[in-house]
């Protein structure tokens, strides 16, 4: 994901042995089914934000418990919300069955099938809420949201025959193999079509079904991205307007370069075909969710028409694509659970998500989806932001991997005092340092690319899962370059570190510096995401209305009395705007004059005097002439550009 009872750190001894908790101990004995389940989803009401499903589960007479998926792959937490159910009916042989919810495991529903029963039939209605990528004209759905399955089963052992009714005249797409389509749809070898109707899919395991979302929209477009390593690749776009689909030849060529660079990096693929599922709507900066043979991606409707939107989405597809290798094929043992009720153990998310963040940054630059300049600016922004977060003084990076399990929200006061899912951006810095260390210790003969091919590559295969533990990662790194990798990661992952790890930036030939001149990438982010980031100067982040989104406890504004969720109304006597704020900060540089803020909260106005004369402090990377430019070598393309 590119992205959302409290647990504590694993004992140090467990970390030192390189072992993940035993994920095989939790599930009950698997339940065998007499035949495949069937799931048919009626998505024709999705414009009104509701889905209907009919589920047929072969079963014998007697007690049975069906469960609604709770722990969802890619989300790394109990994000399956049983509260989304808005209608639920069970029957056997056409007769209604009484059911009871478990008072503690509220996603479990128990009933008793009468003598002579061969199956239980379920009718399920699910509300499409704000957590879904959905509007009246585009939508996606993950199958875990529209199904129940027998408690105790292994997802890989359950066969499912699935079908979906698509709204009339809508385009749809998925990585699932198609068995048949109604005449109102347009057949497609890529798993996509138009015109609505009913689409039936070939039988797959429950694991594959949940790993294969469907996107649909009023307008759609299929773009062939070519073949690599014997597998086809496509881009499936859905949008509310035809104009949003107008990717030009240059943009499409960059996506084809992405395929070439990723397959070159890993050396083998673990899917038979790959589909980028892309919803374009609103003015979103971008988000995604990984799957083995596809990925769900969301960006603004202006993706292909505005440079800022395309610029900010540069790492989205590279990140989710890299997950096919790191996260789906190779997966931490604690995340390779047997079913969706079994709790996940997230302590290796700094590899699963953190290393993938590095790959997304790397592949964006190598493919040309992002510039080398933006790649450098990204490192500077990440390093400066992490260095300014007060929560790092009490919370290790390892502890942030538990964040998905307790569902920490990003809109609470003093958010930076708690830390967020920092295993994403901070691991980017850490894996950059790993790359530079390998190059230094081997005289430039080897790099993290060699580790990537050995650990995630191998032979071409279809979708499969090969779990790993920390010890496997350490051994593979040691095979590439001798080093105390265990000690390296203990210091950067387990230890509380008041400052961001800058070893990769410095080892690659650069220094983190601050300036008053705007960082172009930061300016693009602020325009698209509608916020103002003054975390490294005044110590706050504002939305485009001047409302305080986050405060640094030790920042100048907080010391002056600025409150969370308050609105900055005026700066130095002038009505607030981002431009007025910036000019006031620049004018105060090197003086003793305070910056005066008028703020409002809950109907009360306050005047604050903020002591800050350090200027904007916009981060950037500066070349260190005493060291070679290793970063240039890391970001250099590995394949030739397509003519």
Q: For position 244, what pLDDT does the model report?
A: 97
Out of 1.10.10.10, 3.40.50.970, 3.30.450.20, 1.10.390.10, select the CATH number for domain 335-514+623-635: 1.10.390.10
- Averaged pLDDT for residues 484-492: 98
CATH class of 520-618: mainly beta
Indicate whether 115 pLDDT > 60. Answer: yes
Indicate whether 25 pLDDT > 80. Answer: no
- Averaged pLDDT for residues 265-275: 98
For the chain, domain boundaries: 29-217, 335-514+623-635, 520-618
For 398, phi then psi, to 5°, come to -55, -40
Closest CA to 405 of 323, 471, 488, 347: 347
More confident residue, 517 or 394: 394
Confidence of residue 32 (pLDDT cuts 50, 70, 90): low
DSSP output for 10-65: PPHHHHHHT----TTSSSPPPPP-SS-EEEEEE-TTGGGTEEEEEEEEE--SEEEE
Q: For position 20, what pLDDT does the model report?
A: 32
Confidence of residue 192 (pLDDT cuts 50, 70, 90): low
Q: For position 464, what pLDDT does the model report?
A: 95
pLDDT tens digits, one per residue of 327-382: 999 999 999 999 999 999 999 999 999 999 999 999 999 999 999 999 999 999 99
Q: How far is CA 392 from the centre of its chain?
A: 22
In angstroms, rounded to a whole number, what is the distance separating the alpha carbons of residues 494 and 503? 17
Do 341 and 151 form a contact (C-beta atoms < 8 A)?
A: yes
Q: For position 191, what pLDDT does the model report?
A: 60
Do 316 and 1 form a contact (C-beta atoms < 8 A)?
A: no
**C-alpha to C-alpha distances, 336 to 41, 107, 136, nearest whole angstrom:** 27, 21, 35
Exposure letters 252-269 (e unless 16+ CB within 10 A, then b): bbbbbbbbbbbbbbbbbb
Q: For position 588, what pLDDT does the model report?
A: 96
Closest CA to 524 of 313, 308, 371: 308
pLDDT tens digits, one per residue of 548-566: 999 998 899 999 999 999 9
Indicate whether 286 pLDDT > 80. Answer: no
For domain 29-217, give the fold: Immunoglobulin-like (2.60.40)
Confidence of residue 408 (pLDDT cuts 50, 70, 90): low
Closest CA to 367 of 540, 233, 475: 233
Cβ neighbours for 117, distance < 8 A, ≥ 6 positions apart: 59, 60, 61, 92, 93
Q: For position 554, what pLDDT does the model report?
A: 87
pLDDT tens digits, one per residue of 595-632: 999 999 999 999 999 999 999 999 999 999 999 999 99
pLDDT tens digits, one per residue of 217-241: 999 999 999 999 999 999 999 999 9
Q: For position 442, what pLDDT does the model report?
A: 98
pLDDT tens digits, one per residue of 56-110: 999 999 999 999 999 999 999 999 999 999 999 999 999 999 999 999 999 999 9
More confident residue, 13 or 358: 358
What is the pTM assigned to this prediction?
0.92
Closest CA to 357 of 305, 426, 278, 310: 426
In angstroms, rounded to a whole number, what is the distance separating the alpha carbons of residues 389 and 549? 14
Q: How far is CA 586 from the centre of its chain?
A: 36
Do 447 and 438 form a contact (C-beta atoms < 8 A)?
A: yes
Indicate whether 145 pLDDT > 80. Answer: yes
pLDDT tens digits, one per residue of 419-444: 889 999 999 999 999 999 999 999 99
Phi-psi region of 159 (alpha: psi -120 to 50; beta: other; left: phi over 0): beta
Indicate whether 150 pLDDT > 60. Answer: yes
More confident residue, 13 or 306: 306
Mean pLDDT of the chain: 91
Confidence of residue 14 (pLDDT cuts 50, 70, 90): very low
Q: For position 519, what pLDDT does the model report?
A: 84
């Amino acid at each position: 994901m590119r992205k959302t009872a409290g647990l504590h750190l694993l004992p140090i001894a467990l970390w030192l042995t390189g072992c993940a908790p035993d994920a095989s101990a939790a599930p009950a004995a698997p339940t065998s089914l007499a035949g495949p389940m069937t799931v048919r989803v009626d998505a024709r009401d999705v414009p009104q934000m509701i889905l209907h499903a009919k589920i047929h589960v072969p079963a014998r007479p007697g007690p049975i418990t069906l469960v609604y998926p709770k722990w969802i792959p890619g989300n790394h937490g109990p994000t399956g919300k049983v509260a989304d159910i808005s209608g639920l009916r069970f029957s056997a042989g056409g007769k209604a069955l009484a059911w009871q919810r478990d008072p503690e495991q509220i996603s479990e529903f128990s009933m008793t099938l009468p003598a002579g029963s061969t199956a239980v039939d379920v009718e399920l209605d699910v509300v499409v809420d704000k957590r879904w990528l959905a509007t009246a004209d585009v939508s996606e759905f993950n199958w875990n949201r529209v199904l129940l399955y027998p408690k105790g089963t292994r997802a890989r052992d359950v066969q499912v025959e699935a079908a979906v009714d698509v709204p009339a005249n809508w385009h749809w797409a998925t990585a699932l193999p198609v068995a048949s389509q109604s005449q109102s749809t347009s057949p497609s070898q890529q798993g996509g079509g138009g015109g609505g109707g009913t689409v039936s899919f070939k039988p797959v395991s429950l694991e594959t079904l949940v790993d294969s979302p469907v996107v649909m929209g009023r307008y759609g477009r299929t773009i062939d991205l070519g073949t690599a390593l014997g597998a086809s690749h496509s881009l499936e776009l859905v949008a509310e307007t035809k104009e949003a689909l107008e990717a030009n030849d240059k943009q499409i060529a960059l996506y084809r370069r992405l395929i070439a660079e990723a397959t070159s990096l890993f050396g083998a693929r673990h899917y038979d075909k790959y589909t980028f599922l892309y919803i374009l709507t609103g003015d979103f900066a971008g988000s995604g969710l990984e799957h083995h043979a596809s990925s769900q991606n969301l960006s603004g409707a202006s993706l292909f028409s505005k440079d800022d939107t395309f610029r900010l989405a540069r790492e989205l597809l590279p990140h989710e694509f890299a997950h096919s290798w790191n996260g789906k094929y190779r997966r931490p043992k604690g995340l390779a659970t047997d079913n969706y009720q079994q709790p996940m153990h997230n302590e290796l998310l700094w590899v699963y998500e953190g290393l993938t963040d590095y790959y997304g940054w790397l592949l964006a630059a190598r493919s040309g989806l992002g510039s080398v300049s933006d790649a450098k600016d990204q490192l500077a922004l990440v390093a400066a932001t992490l260095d300014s977060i007060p929560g790092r003084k009490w919370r290790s990076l390892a502890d942030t991997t538990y964040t998905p399990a307790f569902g920490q929200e990003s809109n609470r006061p003093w958010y930076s005092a708690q830390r967020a899912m920092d295993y994403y951006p901070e691991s980017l810095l850490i894996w950059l340092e790993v790359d530079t260390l390998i190059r230094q210790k081997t005289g430039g003969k080897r790099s993290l690319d060699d580790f990537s091919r050995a650990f995630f590559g191998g032979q071409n295969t279809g979708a499969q899962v090969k779990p790993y533990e920390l010890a496997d990662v350490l051994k593979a790194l040691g095979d590439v370059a001798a080093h105390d990798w265990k000690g390296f990661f203990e210091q950067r992952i387990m230890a509380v570190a008041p400052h961001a790890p800058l070893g990769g930036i410095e080892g690659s030939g650069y220094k983190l510096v601050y300036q008053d001149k705007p960082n172009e990438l930061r300016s693009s982010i602020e325009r698209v995401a509608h916020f103002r980031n003054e975390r490294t100067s005044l110590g706050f982040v504002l939305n485009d209305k001047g409302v305080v989104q986050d405060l640094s406890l030790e920042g100048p504004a907080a010391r002056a009395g600025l409150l969370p969720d308050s609105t900055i109304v005026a700066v130095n006597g002038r009505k607030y705007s981002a431009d007025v704020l910036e000019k006031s900060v620049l004018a105060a540089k090197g003086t003793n004059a305070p910056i005066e803020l008028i703020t409002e909260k809950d109907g009360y106005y306050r005047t604050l005097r903020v002591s800050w004369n350090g200027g904007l402090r916009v981060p950037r990377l500066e070349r260190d002439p005493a060291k070679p430019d290793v970063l240039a070598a890391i970001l250099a393309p590995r394949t030739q550009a397509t003519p």
